[in-house]
Chain A
């Protein structure tokens, strides 16, 4: 007798020790008696939809739907992600390209530019100083507390509205109290051979808005000549200058960035400090006039020199600030369109060489295709395996719960 026999005999003996309850099966029948045996349809109807137990086929369907969703979602995300980079990269160009120069030239400034081209710019200056200039003038920003600097910026002409929004219900702000530094960068693309002409027009625009060209550089050598000019224009003509520059006929705006910083408080603070230092200097000069000894004279004179130095430093800062707030800076870069790539000269290969090249090319393309397919296949297999495991687990759990 081995262990198996001992177990069989022992378990049989142990089981015999348990008396089978006489009415056990009858109690089961009693449990069944009140509720007649329902058919499958009745049972399903009684359980209701919220007690629905998926069958094996239902679990397979659920798993298939899950797989489809799992495949579709990454593809959808990957598709959007892949496209976003290209779109994002070209967004500045695309946004600017929505406003071709031809369309914008239909505005009020088209006439003035036409007059510029015709050499009548001096005659039109006075006219555009009127309503157009007033309409394009930068609205007065809200007053700033001492030491606070308010800034705003825009890209491709989209100036934020926080500063430019009309101040309804507020007291009118004196124009003389606002000091705003404005800067802008504009990239233009011009047809072949139009770089110099465009730079000249930009210079005319600067003159037209009573500004000047502070810096200019051109690069004519090479296949892609380019140029860059820095225009200093009055701050209240900045928008007009930007508008005129971006609507030069034949040009295409690649990108445009403008920014403005309110430095009124800084300006006022400098003025106050200079005023105080001047008062101090006057006091020292009065003391100096009353000094009797050489030591006193030298000491007071040193104080006067120190104050004078501080005054000059602050006045320098004030002049710079006045300059940057009275004249804004617009940097325009002009690039020529790249010439279309010339087609490569065709070499006439003989049939054998052509066949070998074609074979090599197809071989490389085939390998690329295989490598490119492996990734999605692995992903799909992974998802299928996961879905199968989930379905198997769910099916087993359901079956176990059922029985």
Chain B
């Protein structure tokens, strides 16, 4: 990508989704902001390596995921996220009109996702929030598409066993 302005625009447009993806992976807005900032700096520094066309989006999330995983694997993050810290990192509801149903669903899904192991949580977030197809997820996490598929399948199996999510699915089916 030669045009720096275009790169700047693209990063600015991608920032919200990248930040929220990092939030879902890290479950901490502070760490997520740091991770995304670090990732975007890397993207800028190695902008010559950005693949052209459709390949740049999975490449961006690959950088973001790597930055998140680097933070996850550092003890500093986990020290901050012990005990009640997890609760303090849950964002507050700023909007008083926030839909109660979405709030409950959000809480259930977030708790269930948080219980997933790291290697399963990342594909789930990239698939169901970021909306990356399996092939792009494979690029982002540097694994083969078959591995992504099996991890997503394993994640779905574990999430289906979650009582809150299972009850929610049954309730939706009953409607």
Is A14's CB under 8 angstroms from B37's CB?
A: no
Interface residues of B in 15-58 (CB under 8 A from A): 15-16, 19-21, 23-24, 29, 32-33, 36-37, 40-49
Give CA–CA (A399, B63) in the complex, Å: 10
Interface 1/0 per residue, A360-403 and B, CB below 8 Å: 00000000000000000000000000000000000010011011
Is B66's CB under 8 angstroms from A10's CB?
A: no
Interface residues of A in 24-59 (CB under 8 A from B): 24-25, 27-29, 31-32, 37-38, 40, 43
Q: What chain B residues lie within 8 Å of A29 (beta carbons)?
A: 8
How close is B171's CB to chain A, nearest CB, in angstroms? 9
**A14-B109 in contact given A20-B20, A21-B33, A24-B36 (Cβ < 8 Å):** yes
**A21-B46 in contact given A6-B109, A13-B105, A403-B62 (Cβ < 8 Å):** no
Is B37's CB under 8 angstroms from A27's CB?
A: yes
Is A21's CB under 8 angstroms from B105's CB?
A: no
How close is A25's CB to chain B, nearest CB, in angstroms? 5
How close is B24's CB to chain A, nearest CB, in angstroms? 6
Question: Is A2 close to B, CB under 8 A?
Answer: yes
Q: What chain B residues lie within 8 Å of A25 (beta carbons)?
A: 11-12, 15, 40
How close is B101's CB to chain A, nearest CB, in angstroms? 9
A8 partner, pick from B4, B128, B175, beta carbons under 8 A = B128
**A6-B172 in contact given A11-B24, A29-B8 (Cβ < 8 Å):** yes
Q: What chain A residues lie within 8 Å of B15 (beta carbons)?
A: 20, 24-25, 28
**A11-B125 in contact given A6-B168, A20-B15, A25-B11 (Cβ < 8 Å):** yes
Interface residues of B in 106-137 (CB under 8 A from A): 106-110, 113, 124-125, 128-129
How close is A16's CB to chain B, nearest CB, in angstroms? 8
Is A17's CB under 8 angstroms from B106's CB?
A: yes
Is B24's CB under 8 angstroms from A15's CB?
A: yes
Interface size on B, as a range, is 35 or more
A24 partner, pick from B8, B33, B165, beta carbons under 8 A = B33
How close is B13's CB to chain A, nearest CB, in angstroms? 9
Is B44's CB under 8 angstroms from A3's CB?
A: no
How close is B138's CB to chain A, nearest CB, in angstroms? 13
Is A10's CB under 8 angstroms from B169's CB?
A: no
Interface residues of A in 248-298 (CB under 8 A from B): none
Is B41's CB under 8 angstroms from A14's CB?
A: no
Give CA–CA (A402, B59) in the complex, Å: 12
Question: Is B84 close to A, CB under 8 A?
Answer: no
B169 partner, pick from A6, A40, A43, beta carbons under 8 A = A6
Q: What chain A residues lie within 8 Å of B124 (beta carbons)?
A: 7, 11
**A15-B23 in contact given A10-B105, A25-B12 (Cβ < 8 Å):** yes
B32 partner, pick from A7, A13, A18, A28, beta carbons under 8 A = A18
Q: What chain A residues lie within 8 Å of B49 (beta carbons)?
A: 402-403
Is B45's CB under 8 angstroms from A43's CB?
A: yes
**A12-B129 in contact given A24-B37, A403-B62, A403-B66 (Cβ < 8 Å):** yes
How close is B63's CB to chain A, nearest CB, in angstroms? 5
Q: What chain B residues lie within 8 Å of A10 (beta carbons)?
A: 105-106, 108-110, 165, 168
Give CA–CA (A9, B23) in the complex, Å: 16
Q: What chain A residues lie within 8 Å of B87 (beta carbons)?
A: none
Q: Which residues of B contact A (CB under 8 A)?
A: 4, 8, 11-12, 15-16, 19-21, 23-24, 29, 32-33, 36-37, 40-49, 59, 62-63, 66, 90-91, 93-94, 102-103, 105-110, 113, 124-125, 128-129, 142, 156, 159-160, 165, 168-169, 172-173, 175
Identify 16 new A-B residue pairs, CB closer than 8 A, beyond the known A4-B128, A7-B109, A13-B103: A6-B165, A6-B168, A10-B168, A11-B113, A13-B109, A17-B90, A17-B91, A20-B16, A20-B20, A21-B33, A25-B40, A28-B36, A28-B44, A32-B44, A37-B47, A403-B66
Of the A-B pairs whose beta carbons lie under 8 Å apart in the complex, a sample of 26, sorted by A's number, is A3-B156, A6-B169, A8-B128, A9-B105, A11-B24, A11-B109, A11-B124, A13-B103, A14-B106, A18-B20, A19-B91, A20-B16, A20-B19, A24-B19, A25-B11, A28-B11, A28-B40, A31-B41, A37-B4, A37-B47, A40-B48, A400-B142, A402-B49, A403-B42, A403-B49, A403-B63
3 tightest A-B contacts by CB?
A10-B109, A1-B172, A13-B106
